[in-house]
A = this chain, B = another copy of it.
Amino acid sequence: MPTPSTDVDLALAAELGQQLRVDSVRSSTSAGSGHPTSSMSAADLMAVLMGRHLRYDWDNPGNPANDHLIFSKGHASPLVYSIYKAAGVVSDEELMTGYRRFGSRLEGHPTPAGLPWTDVATGSLGQGLPDGVGVALAGKYLDDLPYRVWVLCGDSEMAEGSMWEAFDKASHYKLANLIAIVDVNRLGQRGPTELGWDTGAYQRRAEAFGARTFVVDGHDVAAIDQALAQAGDLSGDQPAVILARTVKGKGFSEVEDAEDWHGKPFPADMAERAVAELGGERHLLVRGPRPPAARPRPAAGDQAEVKLPVYERGAKVATRKAYGEALAALGARPDIVAMDGEVSNSTYASLFAQAHPGRYFEMYIAEQQMVGAAVGMSVRGYRPFASSFAAFLTRAYDFIRMAAVSRADICLSGSHAGVEIGADGPSQMALEDLAMMRAVHGSTVLYPSDATSAAALVQAMADLDGVSYMRTTRGGYPVLYDSGEPFPVGGSKVVRSADADQVTLIGAGITLHTCLAAADQLAGEGISARVIDLYSVKPVDTAALTAAAAATGGRVVIAEDHHPEGGLGSAVVDALTGAGRTELAVAHLAVRLMPGSGSTPELLAQAGIDADGIAAAARRLLA
């Protein structure tokens, strides 16, 4: 590689901006899709940033002192990849033949897969900034390193509420290390944005949310340079927002500030004219300032001794309480962090907060930002546990889905699931969470029935890849297992069985307890029922399920405190039918109505997932 320029003056930065534009045009035209105009508007901003302010060790993306650069406007991927080319870490050939092609790491919207300089996947707007808040929280409160987190935002995405959750938390936590750079090019996908070029309106909003603001002409490299220098100053206690008035398609007069050019590559002849107008191809190699020396990252700490809580068999303990107690114990590992959406006294994340206040982050009622913060902390190598009522995690589904695209390792816990919660009514009852979480790629979904298994599974979650989720129960139910019993992810427990079993009853959480009661009822009638604790909903224990079904004449009753689609029943039936030709007689009991308020027994009975309902279903299968 030729020697990169490391002393980037403003003239060179301006040249670099043109190169980034040219490469954005070339790459998107070669791919036949992509967003050149959205890249061109931000090219000068990014050129000055990468050339003169971004402290980055391009040879070592794992350098803990590196600044972070997140493209919240992920559709400007040609610009990201052109920056990587300018830094010499992606070749021009890869850019021209890889962008948006099958099997390439240069995907249509950036993801970390194969790109060590990309922290998080973006492309669903309004997420890069909340993710950046998480990285900045880690920088200020956990790493104690002077890195900055630069986030390039689109103006359209300022309409997403999650952006304001991010500004709110950034100012609450005094994140001077977070700098949002808003590319105000006034044009969204289908036309003008709500606020157009009214940078003053954005400024008032950002200031009201506690940010320092800088309004600049986004094509004046000197003005940009000054704003970046001031915004990147870590001495204050406010996040910074640079509001840059820009022109979409800047530099190519045929499309500048024109509607109907969003997300469209230029045809070859136009691309040729664009490159010519932009001064032709360049192949500058540029590297800006290096990060300060930093001590090595602390060891992951997974060797720390974790003493899980111990529960006595038969004691009535809510699994949400076991979650909190186990999490507090797990806090012996210094990489463990926790956050909650203002209900920590319900989820029992409060126990972690009390034990490890320096690693607990109150996110208030902002579930999207909570998950974004978890993703951001995972970027820095921490293992976040984020909790709320399970019902309210639906608020963050887009963030959870994108966490999987980000290959983030995060742990979620949702309490107060199902009709079991009782009087609060359906707004507080998670009845869709298992379906939602199972459908996430690579996810793990756990639903323990007792405190011992809950505690063991909390510990297991801390070492899982991807998005893991634990559903916990509000009420206290008997501890079923002795301390030390293993609960492998993907396993299950046969909690009651005999050779003469005629039917298999499958439950998890509250319904394992109603299955056990049903088995007692049936035993009194001479019917022998096998009972399975399906604590691992995904991955699911196909072998145990098929064995049980085979042993009980294919007769299976599944009971779940969830709507009938996509949850426990679906996991079982998918497993049983996915394992080869099979003969089955299935009764799937679930919450098939819209519940109201009531006591737990009343609501379980109404839904038909109490012991009576389960026993009756078993009898029907045997009739």
Q: Give the distance in Å from the alpha carbon of A33 to the alpha carbon of B208 in the complex.
A: 37
B194 touches A168 (CB 8 A): yes
Which of A6-14, A96-104, A220-228, A510-518 interfaces with chain B?
A: A96-104
Residues from chain B with Cβ under 8 Å of A205 in the complex: 205, 208-209
A469 within 8 A of B: no
B343 touches A597 (CB 8 A): no
CB-contact partner of A405 in B365, B427, B573, B583, under 8 A: B427
How many whole Å from A25's CB to the nearest CB in chain B?
17
A582 touches B581 (CB 8 A): no
Q: Give the distance in Å from the alpha carbon of A465 to the alpha carbon of B78 in the complex.
A: 45
CB-contact partner of A345 in B189, B201, B342, under 8 A: B189
A266 within 8 A of B: no
Whether A123 contacts B425 in the complex (CB less than 8 A), given A107-B596, A208-B204, A432-B436, comes out as: yes
A426 touches B111 (CB 8 A): yes
Q: Give the distance in Å from the alpha carbon of A162 to the alpha carbon of B369 in the complex.
A: 12
A423 touches B33 (CB 8 A): yes
A410 within 8 A of B: no
Least CB separation from A366: chain B residue = B159
Residues from chain B with Cβ under 8 Å of A562 in the complex: 439
Residues from chain B with Cβ under 8 Å of A576 in the complex: 577
Q: How many protomers of this protein does the assembly include?
A: 2
A580 within 8 A of B: yes
Q: Give the distance in Å from the alpha carbon of A466 to the alpha carbon of B395 in the complex.
A: 20
Q: Give the distance in Å from the alpha carbon of A392 to the alpha carbon of B570 in the complex.
A: 24
Q: Mark each residue of chain A from 580 to 623: 1 if its CB lies under 8 Å from any CB of chain B, else 0.
A: 11111110100001101111001100100000000000000000
Residues from chain B with Cβ under 8 Å of A123 in the complex: 424-428
A497 within 8 A of B: no
A122 within 8 A of B: yes
Q: Which of A411-426 contact B (CB under 8 A)?
A: 422-426
Q: Give the distance in Å from the alpha carbon of A320 to the alpha carbon of B221 in the complex.
A: 43
A232 within 8 A of B: no
Least CB separation from A563: chain B residue = B439
Q: Give the distance in Å from the alpha carbon of A569 to the alpha carbon of B571 in the complex.
A: 11
B33 touches A424 (CB 8 A): yes
Whether A439 contacts B431 in the complex (CB less than 8 A), given A394-B397, A577-B584, comes out as: yes
**Which residue, A168, A204, A566, A599, has most C-beta atoms of chain B within 10 A?**
A566
Q: Give the distance in Å from the alpha carbon of A478 to the alpha carbon of B344 in the complex.
A: 53
A597 touches B107 (CB 8 A): yes
A109 within 8 A of B: yes
A486 within 8 A of B: no
A483 within 8 A of B: no
Residues from chain B with Cβ under 8 Å of A108 in the complex: 423-425, 428, 597
Residues from chain B with Cβ under 8 Å of A569 in the complex: 574
Q: Give the distance in Å from the alpha carbon of A569 to the alpha carbon of B603 in the complex.
A: 30
A74 touches B427 (CB 8 A): yes
A157 within 8 A of B: yes
Q: Give the distance in Å from the alpha carbon of A606 to the alpha carbon of B102 in the complex.
A: 10
Residues from chain B with Cβ under 8 Å of A258 in the complex: none
CB-contact partner of A364 in B156, B398, B401, B436, under 8 A: B156
Whether A441 contacts B436 in the complex (CB less than 8 A), given A159-B365, A342-B188, A423-B108, comes out as: no
A596 touches B113 (CB 8 A): yes
How many whole Å from A560's CB to the nearest CB in chain B?
12
Q: Give the distance in Å from the alpha carbon of A204 to the alpha carbon of B208 in the complex.
A: 5
How many whole Å from A465's CB to the nearest CB in chain B?
12
B364 touches A188 (CB 8 A): yes
A479 within 8 A of B: no
Least CB separation from A368: chain B residue = B161
A432 touches B427 (CB 8 A): no
Least CB separation from A393: chain B residue = B398
CB-contact partner of A161 in B124, B163, B344, B442, under 8 A: B163
A350 within 8 A of B: yes
Whether A570 contacts B566 in the complex (CB less than 8 A), given A104-B597, A161-B369, A428-B108, comes out as: yes
Least CB separation from A126: chain B residue = B365
How many whole Å from A401's CB to the nearest CB in chain B?
5
Residues from chain B with Cβ under 8 Å of A584 in the complex: 577, 581-584
Q: A391-B401, A402-B427 are in contact. List 16 more A-B contacts (CB 8 A).
A: A32-B423, A105-B596, A108-B597, A125-B365, A160-B366, A160-B395, A188-B342, A188-B364, A205-B208, A401-B432, A564-B574, A570-B574, A577-B584, A578-B586, A580-B585, A582-B583
Nearest 8 CB-CB pairings of A with B: A161-B161, A123-B427, A102-B598, A566-B566, A435-B439, A108-B425, A432-B439, A208-B208
Q: A residues bordering B, Cβ < 8 Å? A: 31-34, 74, 100-109, 111, 113, 121-126, 156-157, 159-165, 168, 172, 188-190, 193-194, 201, 204-205, 207-209, 342-346, 350, 364-366, 368-369, 391-392, 394-395, 397-398, 401-402, 404-405, 422-428, 431-432, 435-436, 438-442, 538, 554, 562-567, 569-571, 573-574, 576-578, 580-586, 588, 593-594, 596-599, 602-603, 606
26 A-B residue pairs with Cβ-Cβ distance under 8 Å, sorted by A, are: A33-B422, A34-B423, A103-B598, A108-B597, A109-B426, A111-B426, A121-B427, A122-B427, A123-B424, A124-B395, A159-B165, A161-B369, A172-B194, A189-B346, A190-B350, A207-B208, A397-B397, A402-B427, A405-B594, A439-B562, A565-B571, A573-B574, A578-B586, A578-B588, A582-B584, A583-B583
